[in-house]
Amino acid sequence: MSKLVARVFSGSPVNLSRLAKVLRSGGIVAAPTETVYGLAGNALDPKACRKIFRAKLRPATDPLIVHVLGLDDLDRYAYGNSSARLLARKFWPGPLTIVLRKRTMIPSVVSAGRNSVALRSPAHPLFRRLLRLSGVPLAAPSANPFGYVSPTTAEHVRSGLGLRIQHILNGGSCAIGLESTIVDLRDAKRPRILRPGAITRSQIEQVLKVPVRERRSAGRYAQAQVAPGMLTRHYSPRTSVILHAVLDKSSVLSGAQNQAWVFLAKPSRVSGKNIYWMDRQGDLERVARGLFAMLRRLDVAGYARLNFECAPGKEGMAAAINDRLRRAAAKA
């Protein structure tokens, strides 16, 4: 493990060119996107990408998303198709990742040996400036030790990777707060959502005009648990998370004081030190934005258990929020 402690950089022009230089010369930099903070490296440089895997203790079987400036890059790094171009035109830059058959210039370390590549054009101005200044596509998984909650502030990155990386670009809190929607378009006629996010299934269906399937994510949770050694040695949430379809006064009263109770909206008839809410009104966009920070904060608050209320429904942002809640609960 490196002795160097990470430096946090503001997004000044001088800092950005310095960090872009780090990226061009094969180094890695944590940087904000509108979804979560990513740990970026030159996607065309296998050595840089291996540094990302090492810093995160990420298993080599988990492929990295490649971040690009825009539409032109679809066909540069992948074999695009009309569905992919339609979606990119509509949702890029933004929180949509598209999986396509990869071109050979994408090294196999990035695709974890598969013949596909996952591409996204992020909207965050600082990340876009890094892309422009470095002049290379940037592979970037979330900037946290593998298996822990994704970071939505520079401080989250520092607390997780501060001893393992040297450069963190500070862009404040992430506007969306959940990782991108991933849509598999290797078969253009049969789109499939691999991970729900802020771009919803119905938004994608409206553009493609065909039904979009959604993968049950159970496999991924199981996969995440394949490496318990790594998780416990580092930042695995220690506190168990229990999910509730609805939280009400009676569930809280029957629960213990050493548990946290997290409502979606501010509850009207319950109060106490261990009572929390995700957003005063339960607005799902704001819930998404604050979810990971809430999980992190409560994980170190000394509770025996964290009780979370799920978002109502199975569609849209609720699907994305509940997916992350289930992941948090599955690892407990």
Where in 94-113 is the site for ligand AMP (CB under 6 A)?
Answer: 99, 111
Burial-class residue 141 by CB neighbours within 10 Å (0-12, 13-18, 19+).
buried
2 contacts 166 by C-beta, under 8 angstroms: yes
**Binding region for ligand AMP (CB under 6 A) out of 43-51, 87-95, 116-124, 229-237:** 116-124
- The window from 60-68, 230-238, 260-268, 321-329 that contacts ligand AMP (CB under 6 A) reads 60-68
CA 201 to chain centre: 18
243: DSSP letter: E
State which residue, 75 or 283, has the beta carbon closest to ligand AMP: 75
Residue nearer to Mg ion on the CB measure, 193 or 264: 193
Nearer to ligand AMP, 69 or 194 (CB): 194
Pick between residue 144 and residue 274 the one whose CB is nearest to ligand AMP.
Answer: 144
Q: Does residue 142 belong to the site contacting ligand AMP (CB under 6 A)?
A: yes
Q: What are phi and psi of 279, to 5 degrees?
A: -155, 140
Q: Write down the least CB distance from residue 194 to ligand AMP, Å.
A: 5
Locate tokens 């990295």: which residue?
A: 64
Burial of 37-59, coded b for 16+ CB within 10 Å and e otherwise, reads bbbbbbbbbbebbebbbebbbbe
- Residues 165, 27: Cα–Cα separation, whole Å: 9
3-state helix, strand, coil in the chain (%, to 5): 35, 20, 45
Does 114 bind ligand AMP (CB under 6 A)? Our answer is yes
- 179 lines the binding site for ligand AMP (CB under 6 A): yes
- Residue 37 CA to residue 155 CA, distance in Å, equals 10
User: Over the Cα atoms of the chain, what is R_g?
Assistant: 20
Comparing CB distances to ligand AMP, the nearer of 136 and 182 is 182
Q: Is 161 a residue that touches ligand AMP (CB under 6 A)? A: no
274 binds ligand AMP (CB under 6 A): no
Contacts with ligand AMP by CB under 6 A: the residue count is 14
Q: Is residue 320 helix, strand or coil?
A: helix
Shortest separation between residue 232's beta carbon and ligand AMP, angstroms: 19
Binding site residues, ligand AMP, CB under 6 A? 62-63, 65, 99, 111, 114, 116-118, 141-142, 179, 182, 194
